[in-house]
Structure 1
Amino acid sequence: MIRAYSKLHNCQEPIILFGRMLALGLDPDKYTFTFVITSCSHQLSLVYGEMVHSMAVKNGFESDLYVGNVLISMYSVFVKLEDAHKVFDQMSDRDVSSWTSLLCGYAKHGEMGRACEIFDKMPLRNNVSWTVMISGFVGVGRYIEALSYFSDMLCDDEVQASEAVLVCALSACAHLGALDQGNWIHGYIGKSRISVSSNISTALIDMYAKCGKINCAAQVFNGISRKDIHNFTSMISGLSIHGRGNDALCVFYQMLVENVKPNEITFLGVLNGCSHSGLVDEGSSIFYNMESLWGVVPKIEHYGCYIDLLGRAGYLERAFKIVKSMPMDPDIIIWRSLLNGCRIHRDANLAECIVNHIGELNSRSCDGGEVLLSNLYASLGRWEGVVEVRKLMGERRNESNPGCSWIEVGGVVHEFRVADTFHPQIAEIRDNLNEILKKASLRGYVAKTMQVSFDLSEEEKEQAVAWHSEKLAVAFAMMSTLPGTAIRIVKNLRTCEDCHLALKAISKVFGREIIVRDRSRFHTFKEGDCSCNDYW
């Protein structure tokens, strides 16, 4: 009975039966403790688990393999990792489950340093232990390490890649824009005759879309015989970040025809696509019919997408009224979306009002809004406003995230930061970038320095925008790849106007296709034009 009930979550029956068993004078064995402790892991409090642990010690089972394994798992569930480690250390006999349980505890809670120490000491590793490490690195955003461990795992003849680990590896490729490695994994799946599940298909669609190969994503999508909500949503989101809002809507309508009900994430993708394509009427219709037609109540994230749609299209007052009438309090993302619309349409008065609202939320959240306002003032030449905002930021000690770009060359991911000095080839890269910009300037490129938020000389402003991370990445790619090779870059921030202008010029002068995925969408620069049509 205890064993049967222990499989149910949030069920106290095993604990109650265990108490009755003790009251009857019956002695529990190691199996009893194993099932009761497993049940304790599903409770809201650790109290029961600690009590049963004490009884297990009194009955001489503190070093038993099975009891020890479930104790490690239980303490890990309650984030008592030192207690879990203490149980592990006291075990006289350990198996791969003992090591993996402890490893999983640290990895699940983001302590990858400790997880690495345990993993390195493991006498035997299995599929689960490798998956724990790779998924752990993905979970904390350490995608390069995740792919490194995935590569090492494939060298282990005793282990075969599972669906879970393949999905994690593809996710890492997607975040890094590592197309070569993503392509290799896709090929590996085919050669190994691994069954392509819905999860793998969705991960492949996401990977290709985020690596700039939306047509490859579409091929995977079209090859799925029975598409589910995850396949549709991934395809819609992929098309949206590529600025193909009309295509995203077509997939959405196809989804409805096939009687697949959209969920909250689906609507985020659709609204995002409308936003990047300026489809105000279509986006408005979908937003206002989410609940009545599909039973999905708009959440703050959906309001954020809709406000972004209106702001980009220039409907600032309309967007502001919606923000003030929302059924929930607007968060920092809502205000920044509206503020971005002010930046695009150069409405400093409304921007000032919005920054005041942001300041009322949380001083720590102000930096992004104040940077946008500062840039807006700079673009209008209102340097007194720039000084005032920067002074306020200094008082609050707000720091904006530095620009960072990643590029994969020869299967290796390289990272560049704004004004980078750490890359081993940085001197050569800077020299090459200067030559590239000189040639681009001969064909009409003029640095756009309006948003440099300092009252500097024009020459100093040009230098300030020259070392942006995506420009450094492009310069590195052009000296590291063959002429005509497409350049693919991932950036953590929105691409600035000068970089956008420069990359258009570089694509024309050097005949290179440059694909940049910034914080919100893709830009494909080719022959002097951008796929966003300067709407971003």
Structure 2
Amino acid sequence: MLRFYRNHHSSIPIHLICTHFHSHYSNSNINLSNSLSDLLQGRISHSHLLQIHARVLLAGAHQDNLIATRLIGQYTSLQALRVFNQLEAPNIYPFNAIIRVLSEEGLWFDAFSIFNRLRFHSLSPNDFTFSFLLKACLRLTDAIYVKQLHTHLVKVGFSNDPFICSGLLAVYAKGLKDLVSAHKVFDEMLHKSLVSCWTCLISGYAQVRQSEDVLSIFLSMVDNNLKPEDSTMVSVLSACSNLRIAEIEKWVGELSRFVNTIDSNHQGVDSVRTVLVYLFGKSGKIDRSRESFDEISKSWKRSVLPWNAMISAYIQNGSALEALTLFRQMVEIHKCEPNHVTIVSMLSACAQIGDLDGGIWAHKKYINLQTRKGISALNRNVATALIDMYSKCGCLRDAQEVFDKTTTKDIVTINAMIMGLATNGEGESALSLFSKSKDIGLKPNGGTLLAVLCACSHSGLLNEGREIFLDMSKLYSLEPKLEHYSSYIDLLARVGRIEEAIEVVNSMPFAPNEFVWGALLGGCLLHNRPQLAQVISRRLAKTEEVENSGGYVMLSNAFAVDSRWGDVSNLRALMRERGIKKLKGQSWISINGVVHEFAVGFTSHPQIESLYYVLNILAKQMSYS
């Protein structure tokens, strides 16, 4: 029969203890205490830990502060507290260890209780004590404990410790969202050389969408010759996404002046250029965006951030092919590893031009990245982008498979799947998913209801679409926006309820835009209402931007349906007079992973002569048939 040693929570066979003991401690000259403490370093399996702990107890070494400290660090809070409470005369090290364990598990009240016991042992906290307590404070919403801790660390002389100040700054900025106190801590710091302090402050302002403050602090940081970390840049670029047009123009000027006045070897110049890449792209100046990107040094391009900024700029400005080309340069030439943000951008580009092969490649690339990191679950943003890409490429089954494998679905993921079903004519399935999302407690937003209305429109589900539109305010507490009206009008026009659609246009609290008039015009042409189509076409032509030819083209088509060829000629003359050109048709095809772009009058393709040769042969064959 085996005999067991019992220690509150475990039973360990004595023969295992003896085996372990003889295998490690046969040399009697080795100090037992040092040997045991050495064994407790690094990661230890639970079974091995229990064996070592049993030997500590048998040897009476459980009062050794170093051994106790390392035991505490190996256990979760419950077992760690048992080890700590057995100590008769703990020094500061086991105190710090138990405070750290409790802090990491979010047990802030217990961490503070242990901290208050220091004075009963006549012990003074050190910098590690405060660092671990500040980590516990990150989960607090009550400022009282933080203020008390702040006062205490000032009293004991840690107010100028840069690492302690960084932790305190993080608590105020990220935890409590008290940016006034955070900035005060920052202003009172004697040494501001820690990049993490600047990052905490920038992140705090970014979280509350005070974007201009973010850029002001960022510029000051770079001006102090500090090099921002990737985490700093993520917050800065996130803040830039919330800037209005006027603010973008202002900061483009500020940052450009800074770049032009400092030395090109300045530590932060490339980070400023990265922000300019993003801002130029956001304001539609894609050429300026590329100029800033090309000026970024090779060393800074080892980071994925400038690549992401440039790729995003291309996609925002409808240059999906350029985005895909740049991505290949990034991976194949510069050997820069993409992250999930890059993958989302690439999937968006593939969705824009229907590049299914590229989308599948990006999907596989992401799976490989996750596998190397030991992660199996899909990132929700990537999952949403995959659903969108597969849906737009007509691969609804693949989109559904991604959706089903996404373990933590949010309303954005649901919206993408509903819209995917909608655009592929699966209106009933879209409504079914909408119903299921409500059953599991997900609250629909404006995007959800827009996707559902699109589903009804594409599938001709008049009654269901009308019910959803009319109940938006009452059932979902959402006031219809212009896009909801546009989608509902499209539904009415498609099923031939033209007069009802016009009533909705006249009653809505918004001025009709080109989408509203375009939906009405499409209904008129579909249901043979040529006279009304001409009236609406004129409205559409007046509503659209001067350079947009869509309204004029549809009006021309309406005249042609009614055989009014003279009016067609007059309209084309008017377009020439106003400098309005019909937008060229574009198409893309992916062959062996390379996307080829074609447009009307496009002659720069390297195989253009061969293409026209084949096209002429096909034209002759069709003329003979």
TM-score strictly above 0.5 = yes
- Structure 2 equivalent of residue 84 of structure 1: 255
Q: Secondary structure at the residue paired with 1:132?
A: helix
Q: Distance in 1 between matches of 2:623 and 2:228?
A: 71
Q: Which residue identity does 1:188 align to in structure 2?
A: K
> What is the aligned length?
430
- Structure 2 equivalent of residue 252 of structure 1: 434
Q: Distance in 1 between matches of 2:229 and 2:428?
A: 57
Q: CA deviation at 1:123?
A: 5.5
Q: CA deviation at 1:43?
A: 5.5
- Structure 1 equivalent of residue 348 of structure 2: 171
Change (3 A) 1:413 1:212: same
- Structure 2 equivalent of residue 354 of structure 1: 536
Change (3 A) 1:216 1:126: same
Q: Which residue identity does 1:185 align to in structure 2?
A: A
Q: CA deviation at 1:389?
A: 2.4
Q: Distance in 1 between matches of 2:328 and 2:493?
A: 44
The C-alpha deviation readout for 1:298-322, integer Å capped at 9, x for no partner, is: 1110111111112122221221111
Q: Distance in 2 between matches of 1:241 and 1:149?
A: 29
Unaligned runs of 5+ in 1: 444-536
- What are the residue-to-residue correspondences of 1:120-135 with 2, within 5 Å? 121-122=298-299, 125-135=302-312
Q: Secondary structure at the residue paired with 2:358?
A: helix
Q: Percent identity?
A: 33
Q: Which residue identity does 2:402 align to in structure 1?
A: V
Q: CA RMSD in A?
A: 4.0
Residue 377 of structure 1: which of 555, 559, 570 is its match?
A: 559
Q: Distance in 2 between matches of 1:49 and 1:208?
A: 41
- What are the residue-to-residue correspondences of 1:21-100 with 2, within 5 Å? 38=202, 49=216, 62=223, 64-65=225-226, 79=248, 80-81=251-252, 83-88=254-259, 90=262, 94-95=266-267, 98-100=269-271
- Structure 1 equivalent of residue 493 of structure 2: 311
Q: CA deviation at 1:137?
A: 2.6
The C-alpha deviation readout for 1:206-231, integer Å capped at 9, x for no partner, is: 11112221111111112223432122
Q: Distance in 1 between matches of 2:304 and 2:343?
A: 12
- What are the residue-to-residue correspondences of 1:477-488 with 2, within 5 Å? none
Q: Distance in 1 between matches of 2:252 and 2:454?
A: 40
Q: Secondary structure at the residue paired with 2:511?
A: coil
Q: Distance in 2 between matches of 1:188 and 1:46?
A: 37
Q: Does 1:272 align with 2:454?
A: yes
- Structure 1 equivalent of residue 469 of structure 2: 287
Larger RCO: 1 or 2 (CA < 8 Å, sep 6+): 1
- Structure 2 equivalent of residue 154 of structure 1: 331
The farther-off stretch of 9-18 and 275-284 is 9-18
Contact 2:490 2:523 in 1 (8 A): yes
- Structure 1 equivalent of residue 510 of structure 2: 328
Q: CA deviation at 1:383?
A: 0.7
TM-score in terms of structure 1 length: 0.69
Contact 2:270 2:297 in 1 (8 A): no
Q: Does 1:109 align with 2:291?
A: no
- Structure 2 equivalent of residue 299 of structure 1: 481
Q: Secondary structure at the residue paired with 2:510?
A: coil
Change (3 A) 1:324 1:165: same
- Structure 2 equivalent of residue 408 of structure 1: 590
The C-alpha deviation readout for 1:324-381, integer Å capped at 9, x for no partner, is: 1112221122111111222222322112222343455466277322210111211331
Change (3 A) 1:289 1:47: closer
Q: Distance in 2 between matches of 1:320 and 1:127?
A: 50
Change (3 A) 1:437 1:269: farther
Q: Which residue identity does 1:163 align to in structure 2?
A: H
The C-alpha deviation readout for 1:29-66, integer Å capped at 9, x for no partner, is: 6669958995899757689959x96xx9xxxx955325
Q: Which residue identity does 2:521 align to in structure 1?
A: L
Q: CA deviation at 1:82?
A: 5.2
Q: Does 1:142 align with 2:313?
A: no
- Structure 2 equivalent of residue 432 of structure 1: 614
Q: CA deviation at 1:199?
A: 1.2
TM-score in terms of structure 2 length: 0.60
Q: Distance in 1 between matches of 2:497 and 2:556?
A: 22
Contact 2:460 2:491 in 1 (8 A): yes
Q: Distance in 2 between matches of 1:349 and 1:124?
A: 59
- Structure 2 equivalent of residue 509 of structure 1: none
Q: Secondary structure at the residue paired with 1:421?
A: coil
Residue 221 of structure 1: which of 403, 416, 425 is its match?
A: 403
Q: Distance in 2 between matches of 1:83 and 1:327?
A: 39
Q: Which residue identity does 2:316 align to in structure 1?
A: G
Change (3 A) 1:226 1:363: closer
Q: CA deviation at 1:161?
A: 2.7
Q: Does 1:190 align with 2:372?
A: no
